[in-house]
């Protein structure tokens, strides 16, 4: 049977349709070797002065804040924190939720954007995953020491103990132990497996010596044969598919810590999606905060292009608006429920003694990302950086508002307290910021900060059928990429 369908080429042979080109992910037609040189150069060359300028203070802050702060805490007791009866979660759990949320953007970039075939993720996923690992390490400090006697922190794990008491599996706090530790472990596996081919690249560039031996051990003897790549790609896909529900579950479980309690202001079903959106929102802001300076310091502009920054700004706008919706919906539900305690909880948040925290949260998280509706703002790195810093601050205040303002006004007026952190509280938090920065600096110095193999994979010449396309009759009819000019 003869097909009656006629193609445009057959019916209009004189019209030459332009071949639409995709916007390039890697600029200036860089070669494989250039990519290897540039990314490995970050860790093979001497670090620039600014690296030391950032590393030494952050290491000192980490030493004093985390090392000294925890030593003082353990040797004296948790009384040196500002946690009081009623506001017993206080500052440490604010910081825990803040840090664990930061990590989520890393998993979103590495897993969810992988499953949705967003190839632009390849330039930023490695650094974002590193950020996840370091943020979860910072987060873990707070609940571990918040238990009071940290040498009993192993009571969190369901192992037999002398009291013959078992953990309560009906409690979200135990779910949290499993969720966060699983999240850290699986993120670490994902990060490490993703790095194996790149570690092999560094190994093959090293001169014989200790460095080559160490990179050789950590690259596991990777050879880059297709019989390895075939299984490796499957493993990567599986880890992405496992991490996607995992990242959604982790912050949902964190939100259950609040939502399953019968406390006005916490007992809402909107919490899990609201927390997950907020976590991704805050995490992307942190990715921008660390990647924009790193891009300049190491000259990675051809790898992390304005398109990447533009995409991340759009995600911040989207998730920021979702968070704004959640804030307003919380207020509406409190009003619509007619429950006086619920309404009072929100009145207290907005107009009580912590009004400034609520105002900071609203302006930083909901208003500041609205700038990203404008292309000019997404293209101006100073504006992007300023908004990212606002979001970092705003997301911390969000957790402060949720935890402190709620616990400060519970059911019994006799319990009402106002909370203020002590110097020790603040020292430890600043210490974790230093620790995060210090770990990230060490990451830049010793590990490949961009996924070398995956970036090479996104180049047009990496497609084995690239040559066939070059010989296609329509190839090359448009020299200026179509996205740069209107269709003729």
Partner 1 sequence: MTTTRKRVYGYLAEFSNASTLYKAAEQVRDAGYRKWDCYSPYPIHGLDAAMGIKRSILPWFVFFGGVAGCATAFALAYTTQVVIYPTVVQAKPANLFTIPAFFPVMFELTILFSGFTVLFGLLGLIQLPRLNHPLFASRQFHRATDDAFFIAIEARDPRFSPEKTRELLAGIGGDNIELVEEDDR
Interacting residues with partner 1 (CB under 8 A): 31-33, 36, 158, 164-172, 174-175, 178-179, 182, 185-186, 189-190, 193, 197, 200-201, 203-205, 216-217, 220-235, 238-239, 242, 245-246, 249, 253, 256, 452-454, 456-457, 461-468
Contacts of residue 113, defined as CB under 8 A and 6 or more positions apart, other chains included, come to: 120, 121, 125
When the beta carbons of 239 and 433 are compared against partner 1, the nearer one is: 239
When the beta carbons of 50 and 241 are compared against partner 1, the nearer one is: 241
Q: Residue 449 is encoded by which pair of tokens? A: 């900060």
When the beta carbons of 242 and 263 are compared against partner 1, the nearer one is: 242
When the beta carbons of 315 and 453 are compared against partner 1, the nearer one is: 453
Helix ranges, 68-124 (H): 69-76, 90-107, 113-115
Q: For residue 137, count CB atoms less than 10 angstroms from its CB and return exposed for 0-12, middle for 13-18, buried for 19 or more.
A: middle
Q: Quick check: helix, strand or coil at residue 201?
A: helix
When the beta carbons of 243 and 432 are compared against partner 1, the nearer one is: 243
Q: If you compute the radius of gyration of the chain from its CA atoms, what whole number of angstroms results?
A: 25
**Distance in Å, CB of 416 to partner 1, minimum:** 24
When the beta carbons of 72 and 211 are compared against partner 1, the nearer one is: 211
When the beta carbons of 421 and 448 are compared against partner 1, the nearer one is: 448
Q: What whole-number distance in Å separates Cα of residue 349 and Cα of residue 406?
A: 8
Angle (CA) 466-467-470 rounded to 5° is 95
By the 8 A CB rule, do 92 and 143 touch?
yes
* Strand positions, DSSP E, 271-343: none
Q: What whole-number distance in Å separates Cα of residue 318 and Cα of residue 378?
A: 13
Helix ranges, 447-477 (H): 452-457, 466-470
Q: For residue 467, count CB atoms less than 10 angstroms from its CB and return exposed for 0-12, middle for 13-18, buried for 19 or more.
A: exposed
**Distance in Å, CB of 173 to partner 1, minimum:** 11
**Distance in Å, CB of 145 to partner 1, minimum:** 23
When the beta carbons of 249 and 305 are compared against partner 1, the nearer one is: 249
**Distance in Å, CB of 230 to partner 1, minimum:** 5
**Distance in Å, CB of 248 to partner 1, minimum:** 10
**Distance in Å, CB of 208 to partner 1, minimum:** 12
**Distance in Å, CB of 422 to partner 1, minimum:** 32
**Distance in Å, CB of 300 to partner 1, minimum:** 18
* Residue of 172, 229, 222 lying closest to 201 (CA atoms): 222
Q: What whole-number distance in Å separates Cα of residue 220 and Cα of residue 253?
A: 35
């Amino acid at each position: 049977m003869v097909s009656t369908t006629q193609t445009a080429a057959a019916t209009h042979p004189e019209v030459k349709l332009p071949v639409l080109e995709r916007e390039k992910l890697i600029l200036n037609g860089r070669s494989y070797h250039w990519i290897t040189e540039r990314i490995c150069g970050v860790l093979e060359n001497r670090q620039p002065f600014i690296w030391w300028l950032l590393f030494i203070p952050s290491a000192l802050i980490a030493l004093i804040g985390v090392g000294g702060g925890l030593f003082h805490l353990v040797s004296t007791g948790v009384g040196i924190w500002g946690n009081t009866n009623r506001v017993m979660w206080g500052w440490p759990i604010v910081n825990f939720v803040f840090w664990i949320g930061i990590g989520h953007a890393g998993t979103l970039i590495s897993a969810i954007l992988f499953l949705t075939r967003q190839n632009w993720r390849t330039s930023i996923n490695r650094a974002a995953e590193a950020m996840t690992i370091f943020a979860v390490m910072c987060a873990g400090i707070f609940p571990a020491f918040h238990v009071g006697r940290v040498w009993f922190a192993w009571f969190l794990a369901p192992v037999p103990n002398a009291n013959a008491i078992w953990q309560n599996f009906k409690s979200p706090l135990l779910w949290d132990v499993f969720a966060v530790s699983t999240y850290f472990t699986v993120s670490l596996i994902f990060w490490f497996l993703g790095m194996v081919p790149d570690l092999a690249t560094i190994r093959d560039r090293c001169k014989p010596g200790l460095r080559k031996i160490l990179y050789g051990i950590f690259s596991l003897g990777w050879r880059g044969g297709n019989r390895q790549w075939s299984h490796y790609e499957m493993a990567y896909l599986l880890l992405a598919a496992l991490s996607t529900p995992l990242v959604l579950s982790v912050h949902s479980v964190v939100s259950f810590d609040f939502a399953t309690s019968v406390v006005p202001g916490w007992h809402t079903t909107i919490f899990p999606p609201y927390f997950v959106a907020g976590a991704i929102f805050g995490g992307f802001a942190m990715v921008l905060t660390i990647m924009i300076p790193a891009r300049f310091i190491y000259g990675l502009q051809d790898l992390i292009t304005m398109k990447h920054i533009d995409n991340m700004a759009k995600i911040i706008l989207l998730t920021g608006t979702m968070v704004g919706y959640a804030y307003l919906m919380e207020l509406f539900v409190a009003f619509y429920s007619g429950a006086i305690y619920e309404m009072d909880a929100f009145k207290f948040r907005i107009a009580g003694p912590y009004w400034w925290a609520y105002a900071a949260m609203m302006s930083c998280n909901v208003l500041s990302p609205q700038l990203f509706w404008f292309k000019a703002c997404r293209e101006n790195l100073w504006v992007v950086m300023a908004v990212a810093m606002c979001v970092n601050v705003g997301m911390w205040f969000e957790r402060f508002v949720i935890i402190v303002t709620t616990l400060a006004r519970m059911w019994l007026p006799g319990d009402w307290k106002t909370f203020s952190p002590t110097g020790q509280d603040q020292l430890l938090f600043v210490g974790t910021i230093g620790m995060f920065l210090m770990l990230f600096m060490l990451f830049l110095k010793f590990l490949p900060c961009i996924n070398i193999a995956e970036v090479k994979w996104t180049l047009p010449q990496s497609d084995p059928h690239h040559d066939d396309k070059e010989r296609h009759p329509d190839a090359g009819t448009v020299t200026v990429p179509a996205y740069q000019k209107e269709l003729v």
